[in-house]
A and B are shown apart, each in its own frame.
Chain A
Amino acid sequence: MGLRKLALMGAAVVAAGIATSATAQGPNEQFIPGLIYRTGAYAPNGIPFANGVADYYALINERDGGINGVKIVYEECDTGYATDRGVECYERLKNKGPTGAAYVNPLSTGITFALTEKAPIDKIPVISMGYGRSESRDGSVFQWNFPLLGTYWSAADIIMQHIALKEGGFDKLKGKKIVLVYHDSPYGKEPIALLEKRAKMHGFTFTPMPVTHPGVEQKATWLQIRQNRPDYVLLWGWGVMNSTSIKEAAAVGFPREKLFGVWWSGAEPDVRPAEGGAKGYHAAMLQHGAGQFGVHADLKKYLYDKGKGVAKWDETDEVLYNRGLVNAMLGVESIRTAMKKFGNKPMTGEQVRWGIEHLDLSAARLKELGFEGMLQPLKVTCSDHEGTRAGRIQQWDGAKWVVVSDWYQSDDKVIKPMVDAAAKKYAAEKKLPVRDCSKES
C-alpha cells in the first residue's frame, strides 16, 4: 500500500469519525412543537395566542442566542382545534430535533385528554396552561401533566368567590339561581363538578346548559335564561361561542354585569363582535390581562423594530397574545431549570419534565424576565403541578378590559379533596403507579 493511499484512508477514517460523533451529539438545538390553530372555527382566538408563542421563542433566539446557548427550533402544526388532527400533529412532531419534543402545549382540553395517555409512553411532558383535566394537577398520579397557572376548578372557584364577595358572603348565595352556559365538550364540562359542590355547600340552584359546537346557534339556551331569570350566568365558551353568547345575552336583556366568563372567554375577539352589547361583561383572568409589560420593550427592540414580529405591533397588548408569551416563557424557564441539573445542552422530554416539576419563579425573577404585573410568583412541586391558584376578574368597559378585583386564591379546602378523589380514581382505572411525593427531591 502506497503512502498516499494510506494517508487517504486515514483521512477517510477521521472524517467518518467526525461525522459519526456529529450525528451522535446532533446540532445544539432544542426542538419545541407548537400545536396551534390559525384556521377553522376557532382561528380568531387561536391566531393571537400562536403569535405570542412564536414571538417569545424568536425573542429568546434573537436576544439571548437561545436558552443558555441552545437555539430553539420551533415548528407549528395547525390542529384546527380538532382532537384527531391534534394527535396527528403530535405524532408527526414528537421525535423531531436532536432530543425530540421538549414538551407539548396541546391548546385544547380535548387534545390534552388524548395526549395524557400517550405522554408517559413517549416521555414528553404536557403543559396545559389554564386548561386540561383539573385533577391532573396531582403530580403523584399525573407525572407528565402540568396544568400550570390554574385549572378549571380554580377558575370556577375564583369566579364564585368574586360573586360571593359582591353578594356579601357565600351565605348570601342561598336560594340564588346560577346557570353555566358551556361548550358541550370535555372543556366545557370541567367546571360542573366544582359548581355542583359549591351549590350543595351554599344552597344555590345550579343549572348547566350545554351549547353544541361551534356555538353559533344559542337561541334555545338564552330564551330559557330569559324565562328562568337566573341571578348569575357563568360562560365556559371558546371562539365564536363566546361572542354569540354575549350577543344573545344582550338580545334577551340579561344584565352583562352578571355574566361571568372563564379566562378563555375573556379576550378581545370574544367581546368586539358583540360591540356595545358586551359592555359590563366580566371574565376571570388567567393571572395576566391585556396591556404591555416589561417583555414588550424587548419584543419591540429585537423583533418588531427589525420587522421580525409575527403579529401586528398594536395587537401585542391583547389578552391572548400575552397568554401566548406567558405560555412560551413558562416552557423556556422549565428548560432552563432542567439545564441547571443536566447541563447546557438540548434537553430530552424526560429532563424537561424534571425542569417543570422544579420550576420556581420568584417575583424578582419574573421582573427580570419582563413579566412583572402579568404573573404572581409560582412554584411547581411533585404534588402540585398547578404551581399557583391565583386569579383576578376583569370587566369590558366597551373599549378595553379593566381589572376590577384584587387577587383571589382558589379555595384548596374545597378543591383538594376533589383533586385527590378524582386522581385516585383515574390511577385505579388506568392502573397507574402512584408516586410518593414526600420522597421526591
Chain B
Amino acid sequence: MLGPFLETLIGGLLTGVLYSLVALGFVLIFKASGVFNFAQGAMVLFAALTLARLTGEIDGREVHLANFVIAAAILGTALAFVGWYAWREYMARGGGPAERNRMAVLAVVGAVIGGAVAWFYGKGSWPLWVALPATAAIMGVLAYAIERLVLRHLVNQEGIILFMATLGIAYFLDGFGQTLWGSDIYKIDLGLPKAPIFLFEDVFPGGLLVEPGDLVAALIAGLLVVVLAIFFQKTRIGRALRAVADDHAAAQSVGIPLNTIWLIVWTVSGFVALAAGVIWGAKLGVQFSISLIALKALPVLILGGFTSVPGAIVGGLIIGAGEKLSEVFLAPILVRQFDLAGGGIENWFAYMLALIFLLFRPQGLFGERIIERV
C-alpha cells in the first residue's frame, strides 16, 4: 500500500509543479497590476505554437505560403497601427528622446522579427537555440501590443474592466494563434529522456515510477521561482512593480512610469508562459488543449494566494498531490460506499481542497493580508 501511495504522491507533486508554472504567470501580472489575466492560458498556447512552428518541419510549402501572406498582412496591419499610434503619441508629447528611443527599439524588434519570419519560411525549420529567443522576442512584442492597445486606455479603471479586457485578449490570442500557426498537433522536441525511472526497486515491488520529463520541468520551475523572487524583492523594478500593484494612481504620483512597468510585467509573464508552453508542449504535443491547462492553475491560485510567488509553488504541490491522491484512493471508496454514479473527482476535488484552505486563510496560503481602513 505504501508503494502505490508514494508513487501517486510523487506523481502528483511533479504534476503540481507543472500547474505552478502556469500559475506563476497569473501571479506575476496580478502582483504587479492587480489584474487577473484570463489570457494567461492563451499566452501559453500562443508561445508554444510559435516555438513549435518555428522549430518544426514545414511541409506543403504552397499552402503555408498562402497562410503566410494572410498572416503577414494581418501582422503588418497590426504593426502599422501600433506604429501610427506611437507616432501620434510622440507628436502629441512634443517628441521627447525617451519616446523616440522606444520607437526605435520597436522598429528594430519589428524588423528583426519580420526578417526572421521571412527567413523561416525560406529556410524551413530552426534549431531550438534560435527559435527560443525568437519566440521570447515575439512574446515581448505581444506584451508591447497589449500594453499599447488595451491596458494603457484602462489606467485607473475598475479591476473588473481590466479582467474583461483580458478575457477579450484570451479569445483573440486563441483564435489568432490558430489562424496564424494552424490547429494541428505540433511537436516540441527538447530531447528529454522518455523512459521512466524506477526508484527503490528493492524496497517496493516494481519500484516507484518517476517520469524524467516531469523532473526536468520541476527543476525549471524551481529555477524560475528563485529568479522571480530575487527580481521582486531585491531589484528597483521589483519594488516599483509592487508599488503599482497596491495603487496605480499613487504609484504614478510618485513618478513610477506605469506604462513601462506594465510592459515589463507582461513581457516577463510572456516568458513564463513560454516556459510553461515548452514544458507542456513537449509533454502533450502543442495544440489548443494546452490553453485549458490554465484552468488547472485556478485552484492553485485560490489556495496559494494571487500575490505570492512561493504560494504558487506550494499551492501547486498541494493541489497536484491532493487531486491525484483523491482520484486514486478516495474516489473508489466514495463510489463504493455511497453507490455513486462515478466519474472523475480530481477536477472538482482540487477546487474543494482550495476552498477548505480558504476557510482558514481567506487571503490564500501566502497571500498578503488586505487591511482597508474605511
Contact = CB atoms under 8 A, between A and B. Distances in A.
A363 B289 CA distance: 41
A12 interface: no
A91 interface: no
| Size class of the contact patch on chain B | 35 or more
Query: Which of A216, A244, A269 has the most C-beta atoms of chain B within 10 angstroms of its own C-beta?
Result: A216
Interface in B271-320: 280, 284-285, 287-290, 292-293, 296
A226 B209 contact: yes
B344 A251 contact: no
Interface in A212-236: 212, 214-217, 219-221, 223-224, 226-227
A214 B342 CA distance: 18
Given A220-B323, A223-B328, A273-B285, A212 B347 contact: yes
B166 interface: no
Given A223-B324, A240-B287, A312-B60, A216 B175 contact: no
A336 B82 CA distance: 56
A277 B7 CA distance: 21
B60 A214 contact: no
B5 to A, nearest CB: 10
Contact of B328 (A38, A212, A220, A243): A220
Contacts, number: 103
B346 interface: yes
B21 to A, nearest CB: 14
Interface residues of A, number: 37
Contacts of B175: 39
B257 interface: no
B83 interface: no
B343 A214 contact: no
Given A39-B175, A240-B285, A224 B328 contact: yes
B95 interface: no
A16 B204 CA distance: 89
A433 interface: no
B346 A220 contact: yes
Contacts of A419: none
Given A47-B184, A251-B209, A216 B284 contact: yes
A211 B343 CA distance: 8
Given A184-B343, A220-B8, A251 B289 contact: no
Contact of A210 (B194, B293, B324, B344): B344
7 contacts: A38-B183, A43-B178, A208-B342, A210-B343, A210-B344, A220-B327, A243-B185
Interface of A: 38-41, 43-44, 47, 184, 208, 210-212, 214-217, 219-221, 223-224, 226-227, 239-240, 243-244, 247, 250-253, 269, 272-273, 277, 312
